[in-house]
Chain A
């Protein structure tokens, strides 16, 4: 194309740099997921105190302090893992990465035991009342995101154990950690709404 050749004529010397595709994409993914969480949070807030029958939140919910500490702590350990990867310290990276997965597993097992207790002891299911409906859907949506995040973490761990994760993949790993931070941040909202405001 003659046109194209001519198009490049007026050359400017300034450097032309644009943001990384990965970062923009993950940021947008987080944005759009936030929009979805917002609707579930709004539904929860809207239905607080509107259940026609029990059990009610103040009767059955216990504040999940340990699991919250685990999940928020995992945001810290994943940062340590990332830093280790940047410094090409593979052993330390894998160590902190495994700790992160472990913390996620602890969180999920606390959620599982909480749900088990609610269902078997208090007979609260998703169809019992509005509290059950909104509680299981909001906490469940978050927990499913933890599961997705843990799967990603596990994938990176497997790849790393097989020696595929190197320093040049730092940004890839960072994207997983961005998603993980998002999942943790959502928990702060869910915790506030469900265990503090809603009780």
Chain B
């Protein structure tokens, strides 16, 4: 938790007792502290769930390996996936939204600070509930341990008959609880941006980051309740003997898949759009140009948000839908690639002819652009129904979504961490260590996930705990596991950097990147009330106007 403590006001002369600081974290309603708590907790879960992935990779490094048993393996991939989506991805974006949105729109806090704290604690208790399944679950009925039904928990595997004990109930309730946290924080972000923007900040003058976070929040409000509803149904099935997903009583197991993916696919964009948001702030600053095509960016993201709620069944091509269903969902999947492509071109257009500065945030953004392009292309490939039939549930799919979630989402978030850490802490992250992080993680990422495309095309299914030699999968799996070691080393560099720079980092000053949005006009770290006097803006780049009174933006916008 040391990462979060820095946000506390230092008592001059004496160091505050640890217990006092912890108490400060428990009672705080300050959006900045909560934001850092979200991100700090998420990074802890990232390390836990990353270690699980690491064990998975070690198990699969060579054929017929028996490092872990099949049962443990099932728990590992379930907990890895569930944690990464709900306890890493969601809280990191909630943390970024919390920390940055009020600062960027010139507000002193979120609209509902106590609700905000409630959201954080719901997320934390959800996470602890999920992990307590390791301890508590076998104690009750003697059956099962952590959930082992996969992160999308398909029926009827989750039924009472097939999932004995309480491990699945832990999965349901943990997601239910943390889902409430996500919904209230999303609601809070929207209310804050709608009702608390500083004077002059019309919707089309908001930083793109804020725009994209509003859209993400709307998607959270619309996508998470279906999951909650489906989980209520599953709980009713498991405890009251309801028949929603019980095929023996006429229920339909595929209905669960529909309900889950009505949540699950928008969820992918709920995670990706905040990464887009980071890029949309960072690339202009390090290209020394305003973002190319601001209104188009807003429109394209809105399009993504709208289309992404109508593509869910492309996760289900193999379950035997009608050809009309297949065609519709294939077509909508292709359509979502159009606004996404527009965004990539806009970022490139921003960089084109710019005066690029290859600082760490920019490096991660450029890694993002390459990897997101490939992730998008394999996504379109998988959207082609017959191709999908061939490769469904194979390692090709694993490679595809890790390209989006690691190669793109995580790279975008890393860029954001390097970019805003000086604001939150007042000190720069060490560049040398950061470069080690970047290169180790980049090379490790490609070593891990590039070969998985080939293993998948050679027929390797996902979620198998081991495999026989002689199918041509050995070399790809070995390279993949070596890459996992490099990724872990890269991640360690980041963690070390975050801790070392707290005390030893170079002083950042208020505006180390010569940036243009309002958060850089506050002190680093910002005071508890953010702004002494609430600012007033006349363009999208208020700090540019301030630094260049001879040529302000508002003359042209």
Contact = CB atoms under 8 A, between A and B. Distances in A.
A40 interface: yes
B225 A46 contact: no
Category for how many chain B residues contact A: 35 or more
Contact of A7 (B187, B191, B194, B535): B535
B536 A10 contact: yes
A4 B242 contact: no
B2 interface: no
A141 B231 CA distance: 13
Nearest to B520: A3
B277 to A, nearest CB: 20
Contacts of A46: 252, 255
B222 A35 contact: yes
B225 A39 contact: yes
A126 interface: yes
Interface in A2-17: 3-8, 10-12, 16
Contacts of A132: 242-243
Contacts of A36: 225-226, 228-229
Interface string B527-556: 000011101111000110110000000100
Interface string B20-49: 000000000000000000000000000000
A35 B200 CA distance: 34
Q: Tell which of B112, B200, B229 has the most Cβ of chain A within 10 Å.
A: B229
A196 interface: no
B158 to A, nearest CB: 16
Nearest to A136: B242
Nearest to A28: B187
Is chain B's interface secondary structure helix, strand, loop, or mixed overall? helix
Contacts of B199: 12, 16
Interface stretch (B233-241, B327-335, B469-477): B233-241
A36 to B, nearest CB: 4
B546 A7 contact: yes
Contact of B537 (A7, A18, A20, A129): A7
Interface of B: 111-112, 183, 187, 190-191, 194-197, 199-200, 221-226, 228-230, 232-233, 236, 240-244, 249-252, 255, 259, 262, 510, 521-523, 531-533, 535-538, 542-543, 545-546, 554
16 contacts: A1-B532, A3-B510, A4-B521, A4-B535, A8-B535, A8-B536, A12-B538, A16-B199, A25-B187, A32-B221, A32-B225, A33-B225, A35-B221, A35-B225, A43-B244, A130-B249
